[in-house]
Amino acid sequence: MNLRELDLDHFYLMQILSITSQHIRIRIHSIFEHLHRLTVRQFDERLTDYFFSYFSQIKILSLIFTTYKMQVYRTKLNFLDKIFASIPNLLSLKLEHLKRPHEYYAYAELQSNVHEQILKFHSKNSFWLKWYDEHTQKHHRHVTLLFSK
């Protein structure tokens, strides 16, 4: 199978992986090896154990956060370390429906923390980061990160 792009629901994939045999998980992993682009809907950052390792060859990743239960303010995105460690060839990462803090100091702390996490895996000159918020993008709040190799 030559699957190059995939759009999936994070929660349902994690459920499937939790009830399948090791043999089936290995087969799924081999199918996912050829993917270049992945969109993960209903992304829940609490359910990421082994998740990103299934997609180690991804170059373009979009994570769309669950909008009904995960709309909390964050000042750190802990799952970024897992992404960068598991997906070394990543060129583009888009995080959608990421609710940012309204307070300036908390928003600045979030941006600083994300920069620090990226710098663990990429040099300062190898990434570009663009934040969009409710003022610039009314319905699609997101951050886009682009990396060069």
What is the chain's alpha carbon radius of gyration, rounded to the nearest angstrom? 16
Q: Which residues form the domain of 37?
A: 5-147
So what's the pLDDT on residue 31? 86
Pairwise CA distance, residues 42 & 44, whole Å: 6
So what's the pLDDT on residue 38? 94
Pairwise CA distance, residues 31 & 1, whole Å: 7
| Structural domains counted in the chain | 1
* The pLDDT of residue 73 is above 80: no
CA 18 to chain centre: 20
* The pLDDT of residue 62 is above 70: yes
Confidence class of residue 143 from pLDDT cuts 50, 70 and 90?
A: low
